Amino acid sequence: MRKYLIPGVLLLVTSFMLVACEDWVLSTEEPIDVTEDVFLDDPAEIPFLITGVEARFAFTWTRLGLIADLTADQLIFDEVMDLATFPTYRDIASNFRGIGDQTAFSNNTIRNAYNPLNNWRLLSDDLLERVERIESELSEDLRDRALFTGNFYGALARYMIGFYFEDFACGENAAIGTDGRSCIDQFGAPIDRSPVIRAADMAVNEVLPRLAAAEAFATPEEVRIINTLRARMHLILGNYAESFAAAQNGMEPGDDPFRSLHSVQAANEYFFAAGDGRIQVIPDYRFAQYVEDNPEEAARVRIRQAPAGIVNVDEPRFQQDMYPTQASPMDFLTWQENHLILAELAALHGQAGDALALVNEVRDSHGISPLAGPVTQQVIIEERDKELFLQGLRIFDLLRFGIWPAEVKGTPGFGLTGQPVGAWRGIPIQNDERNDNPCIANPDNC
């Protein structure tokens, strides 16, 4: 009899709990931390939506920049470091050496940048749609600020989608001793389940029109920021005359950097992946050599020696000090980059300008002694390497100049060091997109 009594009591108690829970749920008031979509079509909510778009930029860019610097050769996954344990970082740093496509397509580090990037793009577009619906209810200043934000950040998101990702690998020999322009040509990713939009088409059809729309509501300083982004994109794509025209109207000495702003709540990812938060990845050894060769370079190549206790060899290793705290801001566009674009165009691509004066003005902004000249391709490569340290841009220079490292970097005897790099030069589009978007596998059917 007892063996039937216990299940019966449990059934009675469970039934009571279910009824009690149902009554409790039915009597609960509406949640206070969730807003229904329809309530966001209110002029009072537009500043909140603007702030959300700006904050999502910071959240996204620091993650994507880290992945780009690890895909390139500014950061390396050196398994001599005691805390270097994440296989997702190792796979990215080796350009997916010996890794099957399905593993490359399910890399959580990339996924944690790719999905927020597309969400940020959607939020930017949504802001513009809301403004269109309630424009007559907005003050002119608020309307203009919202239209600038939606267009400008929507353009930034599309630039990142189109210029950093790729749907298939470039090849194991791509950009190693030869021009990698064909790799840049195949970069791209979808928008709203479209086929992959290649970098050049993304620039012409998606990014540049939104920058033009943003420019109508921009301050003079914001116009210069917009032009520097135009100049960067055209330089990457090899459109040198267009790059020169934009850079001439780009950022100037005295302009503040355009940055992603971080906090403890929206932390800079470099702190947790390559800094005091946890040293998973470290700067390539050449950065320590730059500072050793010329101590003045410490003003822009900010590194410091990693604690010996987490280095499993006797030789010192260095960690980045560009972003020493969780709240460290991260440069996205600067007048120094604009100057180096103009210097490269003058020195290598037949455009007007004094390349040496431009380079030396950049160096002087950090208190670094001037170069005697001439400005050669190697000078441009090294100046950009130092000046744009940990800004997510080295990937394009490795491709443009055909200088992709042939071997995985690190300490000999540890991990994949010394093996040929894998076939990926961009960042693989992730399975979240591939599984949901049939246009990637079958673009002709879309």
325-346 tens-digit pLDDT: 999 999 999 999 999 999 999 9
Q: pLDDT at position 333, please?
A: 98
Q: Is the pLDDT of residue 26 over 70?
A: no
The least confident of 36-40, 57-61, 281-285, 353-357 is 36-40
pLDDT band at 41 (very low <50, low <70, confident <90, very high): confident
Which pLDDT score is estimated for 39? 53
What pLDDT shows up at residue 22? 38
**CB neighbourhood size of 292 (10 A):** 10
- In this prediction, residue 27 carries a pLDDT of 41
- Rounded to 5°, the CA angle 162-164-168 comes to 90
Name residue, tokens 């907005």: 138
Strand-pair partners of 189: 197
Provide the β-strand partners of residue 279: 274
Indicate the pLDDT class of residue 67, thresholds 50, 70 and 90: very high
pLDDT in tens, 176-198: 999 999 999 999 999 999 999 99
Q: What is the mean pLDDT of residues 135-151?
A: 96
Summarised one tens digit per residue, pLDDT across range 396-438 is 999 999 999 999 999 999 999 999 999 999 999 999 999 999 9
Contacts of the segment 314-321: beta carbons below 8 A, 24+ positions apart: 317/78, 317/80, 317/81, 317/282, 318/282, 318/283, 318/287, 318/288, 319/274, 319/275, 319/276, 319/279, 319/282, 319/283, 320/75, 320/270, 320/274, 320/275, 320/282, 320/283, 320/390, 321/275
pLDDT tens per residue across span 197-237: 999 999 999 999 999 999 999 999 999 999 999 999 999 99
Res 381: pLDDT: 98
Of the CA atoms within 13 Å of residue 442, those in its CB half-sphere come to 5
pLDDT number for residue 442: 87
**Per-residue pLDDT at 29 exceeds 80:** no
Q: What's the confidence (pLDDT) of residue 445?
A: 80
Task: Name the pLDDT band for 17 (thresholds 50, 70, 90).
Answer: very low
Please work out, in degrees rounded to the nearest 5, the angle formed at the alpha carbon of residue 271 by the alpha carbons of 265 and 273. 115
Q: What is the pLDDT of residue 373?
A: 86
pLDDT at 40: 73
Q: How confident is the model at residue 23 (pLDDT cuts 50, 70, 90)?
A: very low
Is there a cis peptide before residue 374, judged by omega within 30 degrees of 0?
yes
Confidence at residue 38, expressed as pLDDT on a 0 to 100 scale: 57
Q: What is the mean pLDDT of the chain?
A: 91
Task: List the structure tokens of 322.
Answer: 């560009």
**Which domains, ranges and CATH numbers included, belong to the chain?**
40-438 (1.25.40.390)
The whole-number pLDDT of residue 28 equals: 43
- pLDDT score recorded for residue 444: 85
**Measured on CA atoms in the order 394, 395, 400, 405, is the torsion positive or negative?**
positive
Residue 298 pLDDT exceeds 80: yes
Report pLDDT for 37: 61
